Chains A and B, each alone.
Chain A
C-alpha cells in the first residue's frame, strides 16, 4: 500500500484483542482489553523447495517473498519471477523463478573464509560478498527533511501505536513517505520494502530507508543490494554496519529523534546550505 500523508487504519487482520489483567505496585488489578500483534509462521518455497520459515505478521507476503529471495541472491531481475503463489491459510508462499539456482543455493548462508594473510572481508556470508556493490549516492538532504520524514514514519503506524509490537520501515523521498511497511520482525519489514521496490522497479537514487530498528550489518547490506543511498533510524548503529556503510558508500544516520540525528557515514549527503 503506497501512502500519502494519512495514517493507516488499524488493520484488524494483523491484530487481536485480548483480555488481560493490568497490575500496579500495590497489587491492584484492572481487567483490560488490549490490542496485540498477530504472529504467524510463513514458509517460503523457491520452485517448490522449502527454503525458510519466517515468523511474521503475515501481510504483503508477495513482497516479503520477492524481497527475501532478491536480498538473498536468488533473483537477479523481476523478469526471473514466473509466479508467486500464496496459500494464506497454510502460511506458505511459493515463488517460481526461471533459471538454475543450484550454485546460489550451494553458497547460501555459507560463511566467507579468511586466510589471515591480508585485510579481511567485511562480509560474513559469501553471497553478500558477491552481490553487494557500492551504491550510487549523490543525494543531498537538509536536516529538516530527514527529521520530518522520521516523524512521518512515527505518525503513520497505527498498528505500532495500538500494539507497540511492530517495527516500522518506510521508503521516503525528500518530500514524503512513498511506501510504509511494518512487521514483528524488522528484517521482514525491510524485505517487504525491498520486494516492493524490486517488483515495481522504483527508482531509488533520491530515496531514504527509514526504520525503527537498530542499524545492523544485515540492514545495511539489504539496503545496499537494492541501491538505497541513505539509511536512517531512530535507533543506533553497530560498528560493522558503519564499516559496511563506509565501504558501500551508504549514508548512515542513527538516533534520529528529538530534533537531532547522528551521521555515521556520508556527511556530504547532509545539505546544510538550505533552510530545512
Chain B
C-alpha cells in the first residue's frame, strides 16, 4: 500500500475533475487570456473570470475583481508586505508564522521596518492580552496565520480582527492551510488582506496563488508589465486585479483550481473538513496511546495536520523509515516554520507531520499507525 499523508504541503491526489479541466485547457484552449479578441483568447478569459468568481465566493468576497491571482501564496504574501510596509512602519506578526511571512519581514526589517512578534504559548495559543497592549501603539499591519501548518492549530481570527478594527490596523490573514477547509467570510470578518494557495485544500494544481485586497488599502504592486488592458498607457493600471497581474497567467492552473473549488462546493466544505479533522483527531488519540510518542496537540484544531515526535529520534529518520519500509509519505523537519517550532519547543529538529486529505481512508490511517507502532516497538 502507498499512502500519501502530506496534504498540508500540497493536496494529492487531486479530484479527477481537476486533472480533466487542466488537461482540457492545454489540449483545447491554450490561448493567453485578455490578449487578443479571438475565440481562444475569449474562452481563456472566461476561464479566468469563472475561477475568480468561484474564489471570491469561497472566500466571502462580493467583488471578484478584488481577488488577485499570483503564482503561489508566498508571492501573495510578499506582494502585501512589500507593497504596504515602508521604512519606519511597525508590523506585528504571530510567533506561529511560516517563513513565507518571517523571511520577507526579516528583509524589510533590514530596510527600516519595525517588526514585532506577538507571543504565543507553548501550545501555540496567541496571547490576545499582549496583542491588545501592542495595538495601543501605532501599527501599520497585523499578520496572522489562520491555521498553523505545523500542528493544525486554529488561531482566533474573529477576535484579532475585531481588535485590529478597533485599533484601525488592517489584518493580513495567511489562509494557506485554511482556505478550502475553514469557512472564511473575509469581508464579514473585516479582513484587510488575505493570501492563500490554490494547490492545498482548494485542490487545484500547483502554480496559482490567491490574494484578496480590501478596496480601501492602497498596496503597491510587486511588478509591472503587460496586463492586456489599457495597453496604450505606459503606466501600470491602477485598478484591481490588473494592477497586480502582469504577464500571462497560469491558465491550466486556474482551470484546475476552478474545478477544485467546484469539487469542494459539490462535496460540501463541511463534509471535507469533518472528514479531515475527524481523521486527525483519531490519529492524535491513537498516537497519544503509543509510549514514547509526543504529540503537539493544538488547543483548537483547524485542519488535519498532526505533528508528533518519537522521543529520541530525529523526525527526519522517522520519516525516512515510514517512506522506505512502508511507502508512507509524511513531512518532517521544520515545515518552513522555524518560528512556530521555536514556540512549540521543537526547534531545531522539528516534528513528523501527517496531514490527511479528502481522499484519505481509514485503511490508510490504520496502515500508517501500524507502521509507526512497528518503529516504536522495534526501537524498544
**A interface residues, Cβ below 8 angstroms from B:** 73, 76, 103-104, 106-107, 110, 112-123, 126, 129-131, 133-134
Once the chains bind, are B317 and A117 in contact (CB under 8 Å)?
no
Residues B130-158 near A (CB distance < 8 A): none
Chain A proximity mask over B313-347: 1 for CB below 8 Å, otherwise 0: 11111011101110000011111100000000000
CA A103 to CA B319, docked complex, whole Å: 15
CA A121 to CA B332, docked complex, whole Å: 11
Smallest CB gap from B335: residue in A:
A117
**B313 CB contact (under 8 Å) in A110, A119, A120, A130:** A130
**B332 CB contact (under 8 Å) in A103, A104, A117, A122:** A117
Once the chains bind, are A106 and B317 in contact (CB under 8 Å)?
no
Shortest C-beta distance, A171 to chain B (Å), equals 22
B378 within 8 A of A: yes
Known: A103-B374, A112-B316, A129-B314. A117 touches B324 (CB 8 A): no
**B interface residues, Cβ below 8 angstroms from A:** 312-317, 319-321, 323-325, 331-336, 348-350, 374-375, 378-380
Once the chains bind, are B378 and A117 in contact (CB under 8 Å)?
no
CA A106 to CA B335, docked complex, whole Å: 28
A106 / chain B contacts, CB cutoff of 8 Å: 324-325
Known: A106-B325, A131-B379. A123 touches B317 (CB 8 A): yes
Once the chains bind, are B350 and A130 in contact (CB under 8 Å)?
no
Q: What 8 pairs across the A-B complex have the smallest Cβ distances?
A: A118-B333, A117-B333, A129-B317, A121-B314, A119-B348, A118-B350, A118-B334, A112-B320
| Count of chain A to chain B residue pairs whose CB atoms are closer than 8 Å in the complex | 78
B313 / chain A contacts, CB cutoff of 8 Å: 129-130
In the complex, given contacts A115-B316, A118-B316, A130-B321, what are 19 additional A-B residue pairs having Cβ atoms less than 8 angstroms apart? A103-B374, A106-B325, A107-B321, A110-B324, A112-B316, A113-B323, A113-B324, A117-B333, A117-B350, A118-B315, A118-B348, A118-B350, A120-B316, A122-B314, A123-B314, A129-B317, A130-B375, A131-B378, A133-B312
Smallest CB gap from B348: residue in A:
A119
CA A112 to CA B333, docked complex, whole Å: 14
Known: A126-B317, A130-B375, A133-B379. A118 touches B324 (CB 8 A): no
B350 / chain A contacts, CB cutoff of 8 Å: 117-119
Once the chains bind, are B317 and A112 in contact (CB under 8 Å)?
yes
Shortest C-beta distance, A243 to chain B (Å), equals 12
CA A123 to CA B334, docked complex, whole Å: 18
Once the chains bind, are B336 and A130 in contact (CB under 8 Å)?
no
Once the chains bind, are B320 and A126 in contact (CB under 8 Å)?
yes
A133 / chain B contacts, CB cutoff of 8 Å: 312, 379-380
Most chain A C-beta atoms within 10 Å of own C-beta, residue among B312, B325, B349, B350: B325
Once the chains bind, are A107 and B325 in contact (CB under 8 Å)?
yes
CA A134 to CA B334, docked complex, whole Å: 23
B320 / chain A contacts, CB cutoff of 8 Å: 110, 112-113, 121, 126, 129
Shortest C-beta distance, B313 to chain A (Å), equals 7
Q: Could you show 10 A-B contacts with beta carbons less than 8 Å apart?
A: A103-B378, A106-B324, A107-B324, A113-B319, A119-B314, A121-B320, A126-B317, A129-B321, A130-B379, A133-B379
